[in-house]
Amino acid sequence: MILSPTIGTRVVRALAILTLFLIASMAVGLSVGSQHIDPASLFRDSFSRTLFFRLRLPRVLLGSIVGSSLALTGGALQALFRNPLADPYTLGVSGGGALGASIAIALGWSSRVAGIPLVFAASFAGAMVAVSLVRTIARTGAVVLPGALLLSGVAVNLIAAAGVLTIEYLTDPSSALRILRWLIGSLDIVGLQPIGRMLWVLAPAWLALLALSRQLNLIAIDEDTAATLGVNVRRCEAIVHTLCALIVGVTVSAGGAIGFVGLIVPHAVRMMFGEDLRIVLPGSLLLGAAFLILADALARTVLPSGELPVGAITGLAGGPVFLWLLRRRQQYAAM
Amino acid sequence: MPDWFEAQHLDYSYANGPLVVRDVSLASTPGTMTAVIGANGSGKSTLIRMLAGLLRPRAGKILLEGILFEDWQPRRRAREIAYVPQSTAAAFPFHAIDMVLSGRTPHTLRFRFESVADVEKAREALETAGAAHLAGRSFTSLSGGERQMVILARALAQEPRLLLLDEPSSSLDLKHRAALIRALAGLSEKKNLSVIMITHDLQLTGAFDRILALRCGEMAAAGTPDEVLRDDVLRDIYSDPDVHARRIGDQTLVWVDL
C-alpha cells in the first residue's frame, strides 16, 4: 500500500469525505419520520415549522452530539489503554454516568448550579469514579493489563446496573419511569435549548481532547516511546480520563447509555483512513454523528407504528463488531 | 572538556524493595560507543531506563551538557536522547513508516504535521536500519527481529546525539546483528552519535570503545574491551569459573565450558 506523502493531506482528505457524509446523513435524518415534511412547506405552514424546529431538528442535532461524543471518547480510550475493545460502554464509564444520573433524577435534582444541570454533574461524577476504578484495577506499575481492564469494566457495569435497579425500585413510580425511559437510550427531546446547554460544556471538552491527538497517537504506539519522545504520559492520561468522563457524563445524562457507538466508529475510521489518531479522533467525531443520526433514522422508521430505542439498533450492530474484534485480537496474540 | 553526558552515583529500587542499581556512574562523549554487560537481573535495563528518563533515580544525578536531567524540557531532551526498548508490543496495526515517522515528533511544532522532509528522514532512517523494505508493512505483522529494526529506525529518525539501546540484538539473526553494529559504528564515526547499548552478545562488544559490567546492580568492571574481555574479569562478572575469552585477530571470542 502506498501512502500519500504527508499526514497533513491524509487528514484533510479524510475529514472532507466524512464531512460530506455527515451532511448527507443529516439530510436523511431530517427527511424521514412518521410525518413527511416538505421543505417548501416550512415557509408556509406553521405546523410543519413547529414539527421541524421543535422535534425533528433537535433530535437530529442531539443524535449528532451524542454520537460524536461517544465515538470521540471511544477512540481516545482505545488509544490510552492500547486496547481496541475499549469504549465508554465496555469500560463501565457509561454505566457509572448512568448511576450518577439516576441518583440525581431519583432525588429530584432538576435544579441548576451556575447554569449547569445537577444531573450533568452527578453523571460526570459517576463516570469519573468508574474510569478511575477501572484504571486503578487494570494498571499494575507501567502496564495496563488488557484482560483486567475489560473485566473490571464488566464488573463496574454490573455494579452500576444493580445500583440503578435498586434506585428504580426504591424511588416513586414517576421517577422510576423517567429513569427507565431514559436508560434505554433515546434521542427524544423538544426544542433546541437543551442542545445549547450541552454544547456549552461539550464543545470545549471535544476541542481539548482533539488537541491531545498527537500525544495520544504516540501513547497508542507505546507508552515508553511516547515518554522518550517528550510526552508527559501521566499528565496526558489524567487529562484524557477527566475529559472522557466529562463528555460521557454529559452525553449519558442527556441521551442515556447508548452502547457500542464508541467501539464501532473509531474502528470504521481506522479501516478507511489508517491508524493515526490525528485522523481517528476528528474522524470519529464526524462519523460518530453520522452513525447515530442514521441509526436513529432507522429506529424511527423500522417499525410500521411507533419506534425502537436507538440503543437497540446500536447494540445489535455493535455486539457482533465487538466479537469480531475480539477474535481478530486473539489472532494477533497467537502470532 | 567536561563529559557531555554523565550519570553520577545512581541508585534505584522498585517500590520499597532492595536497591537493584547501586552507586553506578558512567559518562559518554560524542562519538563513543559504550556496551553495558552483566548477568540477567543485574540491573542493566533499570540503568538504561533511568538514562532514558523513564525511571527517576532514588539517588544520584544525570547531567546532559552539565544541566540536570529534570531541568531539561522533555521535548528538547527528546532531540538529544533516543531509546530503543527491548521489545515493543503493538495493539494497533500502525504502518512501519508511520512508527518511524513518530520519531520526528520532538522536531515538529506541536500543532503541525510532519512535513515531506520528515517523511524523507524517516525513509532514510529505515534505510540505515536495513528495514526499507518494511515501510508499508503493518507493525503487527512483523517478526520480533523486524520490529526491532523498525524501532531502531524510529530512534534514528529522532536524530539524537545519544542513542540508548536495550538488547537490540537479542532477536536479530547473525547477519542483522553484524549489520546493526556496523550501522551504529558508522553513525558514531560520521555523525558523532554516542551509543550506550545493553547486550548479552559479548562478541559484539569488541567493536565498542568502552564496556561497563554490572553484577547485582553494582559496577563490577569498566574499561576498554581489552581490559574487560578477560578470563578473570568475566569470571567475576558472571560468577562462573568456566568462562573463557581469547583474542583472535581483531575479534575476541568468549565461550563457556559446558
State the complex-level ipTM. Answer: 0.89
Tell me how close the Cα of A48 comes to any Cα of chain B, in angstroms: 45
Which chain A residues are closer than 8 Å to B17 by Cβ?
Answer: none
Q: How much is the average pLDDT of A300-306?
A: 82
How far is B7 from B25, CA to CA, in rounded Å? 5
pLDDT at A335 over 70: no
Whether A153 contacts A91, CB under 8 Å: yes
Return the CATH number at B240.
3.40.50.300
**A178 touching chain B per CB within 8 A:** no
CA A52 distance to own-chain centroid: 25
Amino acid at B224: T
Nearest CA in chain A to B143: A335
Within A171-309, where are the H helices?
A: 173-183, 193-211, 213-221, 223-228, 233-255, 261-273, 277-301
Does residue A82 lie in a domain region?
yes
Q: Which of B104, B125, B159 is the last residue of a domain?
A: B159
Does residue A284 lie in a domain region?
yes
Same domain, yes or no, for B38 and B120?
Answer: no
Same domain, yes or no, for B125 and B21?
Answer: no
Does residue A182 lie in a domain region?
yes
Which chain B residues are closer than 8 Å to A80 by Cβ?
Answer: none
**B105 touching chain A per CB within 8 A:** yes
Tell me how close the Cα of B53 comes to any Cα of chain A, in angstroms: 7
Of residues A5, A228, A274, nearest to B119 (C-beta): A5
pLDDT at A329 over 70: no
**Is residue A2 very low, low, confident or very high in pLDDT (cuts 50, 70, 90)?**
very low
**A173 touching chain B per CB within 8 A:** no
Which chain B residues are closer than 8 Å to A232 by Cβ?
Answer: 74
Tell me how close the Cα of B157 comes to any Cα of chain A, in angstroms: 11
Q: What's chain A's average pLDDT?
A: 86
Whether B189 contacts B238, CB under 8 Å: no
**B123 touching chain A per CB within 8 A:** no
Same domain, yes or no, for B136 and B233?
Answer: no
Go through A41-54 and write b for each residue having 16 or more CB atoms within 10 A of its CB, e for each that does not. eeeeeeebeebbee
Same domain, yes or no, for B56 and B168?
Answer: yes
Percent of chain B exceeding pLDDT 70 equals 99
Q: Which three cell numbers stand for residue B122?
A: 524517516
Phi, psi of A73 (to 5 degrees): -65, -35
Q: Which of B132, B159, B186 is the last residue of a domain?
A: B159
DSSP state of B39: S
Same domain, yes or no, for B14 and B114?
Answer: no
Does residue A176 lie in a domain region?
yes
**Virtual torsion, Cα A175, A176, A180, A183, nearest 10 deg:** 60
In 3D space, the residue among B33, B12, B34 whose CA is nearest the CA of residue B216 turns out to be B12
State which residues form the domain around B122.
86-159
Return the CATH number at A98.
1.10.3470.10
Give pLDDT, residue A127.
Answer: 93
Nearest CA in chain A to B86: A224
Nearest CA in chain A to B93: A275
Please tell me the total count of domains within chain A: 1
Phi, psi of B18 (to 5 degrees): -70, 165
In 3D space, the residue among A320, A296, A297, A321 whose CA is nearest the CA of residue A310 turns out to be A296
**Is residue B172 very low, low, confident or very high in pLDDT (cuts 50, 70, 90)?**
confident
DSSP characters for A74-134?
Answer: HHHHHHHHT-TT--TTTTTHHHHHHHHHHHHHHTT---EETTEEHHHHHHHHHHHHHHHHH
Same domain, yes or no, for B69 and B97?
Answer: no
Same domain, yes or no, for B107 and B63?
Answer: no
Tell me how close the Cα of A269 comes to any Cα of chain B, in angstroms: 13
Of residues A2, A218, A332, nearest to B102 (C-beta): A218
**A114 touching chain B per CB within 8 A:** no
Nearest CA in chain A to B74: A230
Same domain, yes or no, for B73 and B167?
Answer: yes
Same domain, yes or no, for B166 and B242?
Answer: yes
Same domain, yes or no, for B189 and B256?
Answer: yes
Same domain, yes or no, for B143 and B236?
Answer: no
**Is residue A185 very low, low, confident or very high in pLDDT (cuts 50, 70, 90)?**
low
Does residue A15 lie in a domain region?
no
How far is A287 from A269, CA to CA, in rounded Å? 8
Cβ burial, residue A304 (10 Å; 0-12/13-18/19+):
exposed
Q: Which of B116, B135, B159 is the last residue of a domain?
A: B159
Does residue A50 lie in a domain region?
no
Decide if A230 and B75 are in contact by the 8 Å CB cutoff. Answer: yes
CA diameter of chain B: 58
Does residue A21 lie in a domain region?
no
Which chain B residues are closer than 8 Å to A271 by Cβ?
Answer: none
In angstroms, the Cα distances linking B141 to A18, A332, B92, B137, B156 are: 29, 8, 10, 7, 22
In angstroms, the Cα distances linking A123 to A35, A154, A164, A200 are: 34, 18, 12, 16
Nearest CA in chain B to A11: B113
Please tell me the total count of domains within chain B: 2
Of residues B92, B99, B113, nearest to A7 (C-beta): B113
pLDDT in tens, B193-236: 999 999 988 888 888 999 999 999 999 999 999 899 989 999 99
State which residues form the domain around A260.
72-327
Same domain, yes or no, for B165 and B232?
Answer: yes
How far is A65 from A255, CA to CA, in rounded Å? 10
How far is A88 from A99, CA to CA, in rounded Å? 14
| SS3 of residue B110 by DSSP | coil
Tell me how close the Cα of B82 comes to any Cα of chain A, in angstroms: 7
Does residue A208 lie in a domain region?
yes
pLDDT in tens, B41-85: 899 999 999 999 999 999 999 999 999 998 999 999 999 999 999
In angstroms, the Cα distances linking B21 to B46, B57, B83 are: 7, 9, 19
pLDDT in tens, A229-266: 999 998 999 999 999 999 999 998 888 778 889 999 99
